[in-house]
Amino acid sequence: MSLPPLLTLVLLVLGTIIGAYGSIYLKLGAKEFNLNLIKQVKNKNIILGLFLFAFSTMLYVFLLKTEKLSILYPLTSLGYIWVALFSVTRLKEKMSLPKWLGIACIIAGIFLISYFH
């Protein structure tokens, strides 16, 4: 099975965004986290975060049927970029200059891998 490259890229970006939101909801749910499993089943943020991670993973596995792992896996580092952006915008976290420089390096790496594959 083969997908058009643009569709593969769109689905991968969508999957990384969904996974990043999973991290945001897990962070929000962590405020109420403890080892009581019964209480965690009622922790809506934890449940939503896990669901988003699971959905993102299933999308990734689907894409593995259509594209090389050596191409897809490095592109999943887009998730680091989304988490950084969502942490600033949704959680009001601060990002230092070295962190932004790290994000720029990830973007450069993504460009190199996707442009020269």
Instruction: Report CA torsion sign: 70, 74, 75, 79.
Output: positive
Global model pTM greater than 0.85: yes
Phi then psi dihedrals of residue 72, to 5 deg: -65, -45
Instruction: Provide the residue type at 100 as one letter.
Output: W
How confident is the model at residue 117, as a pLDDT? 67
Task: Give per-residue pLDDT as tens, 85-114.
Answer: 999 999 999 999 999 999 999 999 988 887
* Cα 26 to Cα 11: distance, rounded to the nearest angstrom: 22
Task: Give per-residue pLDDT as tens, 6-38.
Answer: 899 999 999 999 999 999 999 999 998 888 878
Range of the domain at 69: 5-115
101 CA to centre of own chain? 19
Q: How many domains would you assign to the chain?
A: 1
Measuring CA to CA, which residue among 72, 66, 78 is closest to residue 108? Answer: 78
How confident is the model at residue 35, as a pLDDT? 85
* Cα 95 to Cα 97: distance, rounded to the nearest angstrom: 7
